[in-house]
Amino acid sequence: AQSVTQPDIHITVSEGASLELRCNYSYGATPYLFWYVQSPGQGLQLLLKYFSGDTLVQGIKGFEAEFKRSQSSFNLRKPSVHWSDAAEYFCAVGLYNFNKFYFGSGTKLNVKP
Amino acid sequence: DGGITQSPKYLFRKEGQNVTLSCEQNLNHDAMYWYRQDPGQGLRLIYYSQIVNDFQKGDIAEGYSVSREKKESFPLTVTSAQKNPTAFYLCASSPGQGNSRYSYNEQFFGPGTRLTVL
């Protein structure tokens, strides 16, 4: 069965520090990969996506993610975190030609001043 | 502006009542979805519809029902059979088949409805 694992439930970083949020998936073929961000009480906003090609993808708000096939990972990174980045982040897997998503359980990011 | 709207933002229900959550999109998307979100559990798929007049059960469909009579609308009814309905409900849509491969699977989300059972 397909699964998406985000091993970190909560992460706290200082403003200006770098950030890496981990995501691992379990699927037989290369899926479509996504990172979404959710502010409290709001819907989800797409940060970036990977379908094929260059394994380092750039997204909005200065985020990037790297697909590593050998590790079945799609970790999200940001070189310098801003206080406004405090939110919950979800990794998701989409299956080609099968219109469903599988979401990780999310990672809550706190940013210290 | 194109987007997805959900109403109401907050909904209170007494035990034993059915309630219907609204989801409307003007993105001309074929596919629509309903998710339930509980703390620490991510998003779980309730129902999805790939085309008008057709829908499929997701992973947690028991106690819920949907209809898809119009392309732009996908209302969710939470019935009295749902044992623990208090949650945050998210509606999403995606272009679906017939669009470019690179937009095929991306999902766009509404702002959500928080349902509380009193």
Tens-binned pLDDT, residue by residue, of chain B (118 aa) = 669 999 999 999 998 899 999 999 999 998 999 999 998 788 999 999 988 999 999 999 999 999 999 999 999 999 998 989 999 999 999 887 554 444 456 889 999 999 999 8
Chain A contact set for B111 (CB, 8 A):
42-43
In 10 A of CB B6, how many CB atoms?
A: 21
- Give pLDDT tens digits for A36-45: 999 988 999 9
**Beta carbons of A90 and B90 less than 8 Å apart:** no
Q: Is A71 left (phi over 0), alpha (psi -120 to 50) or beta?
A: alpha
> B21 — contact with chain A (CB < 8 Å)?
no
Give the residue ranges of DSSP H helices in B31-103.
Answer: none
Name the H helices within chain A: none
* Burial status of residue B113 (CB atoms within 10 A of its CB: 0-12, 13-18, 19 or more): buried
| Cβ atoms < 10 Å from Cβ of B92 | 25
| Degrees, nearest 5: CA angle A48-A21-A39 | 65
Contacts (Cβ under 8 Å, ≥6 apart) of A98: none
**pLDDT at B102 (0 to 100):** 44
Residues in chain B within 8 Å Cβ distance of A36: 109
B window 88-117, beta carbon within 8 A of A: 88, 90, 92, 94, 96-97, 101-102, 104-112, 114
**Run of H or E residues at B107:** none
Residues of chain A with Cβ-Cβ distance to B109 below 8 Å are 36, 43-45
User: Helix, strand, or coil here: B79?
Assistant: coil
Contact A43/B110, CB-based, under 8 Å?
yes
CA distance B59 to A25: 18
Angle subtended at Cα A27 by Cα A2 and Cα A78, rounded to the nearest 5 degrees: 95
Q: CA-based angle B88:B92:B95, to the nearest 5?
A: 175
**What are the counts of helices (DSSP H) followed by strands (DSSP E) for chain A?**
0, 12
What's residue A53's pLDDT? 85
> What local confidence, expressed as pLDDT, does residue A96 receive?
65
- Tokens standing for A53? 């090609």
Contact B21/B75 with Cβ under 8 angstroms?
yes
**Cis geometry, peptide bond prior to residue B95 (ω within 30 degrees of 0):** no
- Cα separation, A112 vs A11, in Å, equals 11
Q: B14 — contact with chain A (CB < 8 Å)?
A: no
Question: What is the DSSP-derived secondary structure letter of residue A86?
Answer: -
Determine whether the interchain pair B105/A104 forms a contact, defined as Cβ–Cβ distance below 8 Å. no
